[in-house]
Structure 1
Amino acid sequence: MARLTRKPAPDTLRPQFWDRVALKDMTPAEWEALCDGCGKCCLNKLEDADTGEVVFTRIACRLLDDSTCRCANYPIRKSIVPECVVLSPKTLGEVAYWMPLSCAYRRLWEGRGLADWHPLVSGDPESVHEAGMSVRGWTIPEFDVPLEDWEDHVIEEEL
């Protein structure tokens, strides 16, 4: 079965658009290219109802392919996982706190620029994995852990 990805063709991207174009003015291909392929946004999170604190778990969304760190059904993910957050320039301000600190969308929204390991900077789609910035190989499928046990799988380090 072929895997669906959201990786745009490089020739549809303006040179260094991430440094020159506002998030709201990016083309759909440029917006999608910002994803570094780390898979961290696909980790299930827990939010404290009283404090609003968000913590990540090692428990991955049922659609995350642990080897590629990409969604196995990206185009129809929202119909399969209704709680999936569809990130867009319009929603980023509302959900940035929910994204990992290393996320390119969050970094650009906060004015921090892309990390040197980001594939757009390095030119290598494997650089995110080689830098140890992805979830490749260490997630647990969400159906393997009862919801009441998710707190046992909280990640202590900042992502």
Structure 2
Amino acid sequence: MGESSNMPFWRAKSLEAMSGPEWESLCDGCGRCCLNKLEDWDTGEIAWTNLACQLLDGQSCRCSDYENRHATVPDCVQLDPATVRQLSWLPATCAYRLVAEGRDLYWWHHLVSGDPDTVHQAGISARGRTISELGKDVEDYEDHIVEWPGENPFEDAA
């Protein structure tokens, strides 16, 4: 067998070649993609908010109704390989983005560390940093703009 048989699947396979379970396991559980974002229509610039989707569990940073999320949140973006390559707002630390760019996962990703809590311990996740979008008017979203979801404190550590 070749060298790729000893490589983890995310280094040996393209996003398109991954099985369903492999694809789902790539999610690091940071919850950043579930934050509301504002887009400047003229420049395309994205501004992150600390307003979380109503389905985001603020403790686990996972969707509280993943299988049925589109019934509650019809505009929830379904990630697939093509979408991952098109979205400019995926966090720089996102495993889907990293793999699409040919980069490796960070040490805190559960597939590397073996522990789903390291994403929180490393300070990457949205845990404890969000409020629910419920009851907020879209006009008030600008009052909730934050920088941290777009930052990558481990930029040179991958």
Same fold, judged at TM 0.5 (above)? yes
User: Structure 2 regions of 5+ residues with no counterpart?
Assistant: 1-5, 152-158
Does the CA contact (< 8 Å) of 1:78 and 1:86 recur in 2?
no
Partner of 1:99: 90
Partner of 1:130: 121
Percent identity reads 53
Structure 1 residue 26: Cα displacement: 0.2
Does the CA contact (< 8 Å) of 1:45 and 1:57 recur in 2?
yes
Match of 2:49, SS state, is: strand
**Aligned partner of 1:121 among 85, 105, 112:** 112
Structure 1 residue 156: Cα displacement: 2.1
What TM-score do the two structures reach when normalised by structure 2?
Answer: 0.87
User: Structure 1 regions of 5+ residues with no counterpart?
Assistant: 1-13
- Post-superposition CA distance 1:75-124 (Å, at most 9, x none): 111121011000012322222x1211111101111222111111101111
Distance 2:51 2:7 in 1: 36
What TM-score do the two structures reach when normalised by structure 1?
Answer: 0.86
Partner of 1:81: 73
Does the CA contact (< 8 Å) of 2:52 and 2:131 recur in 1?
yes
Partner of 1:65: 57
Partner of 1:155: 146
RMSD between aligned alpha carbons? 1.4
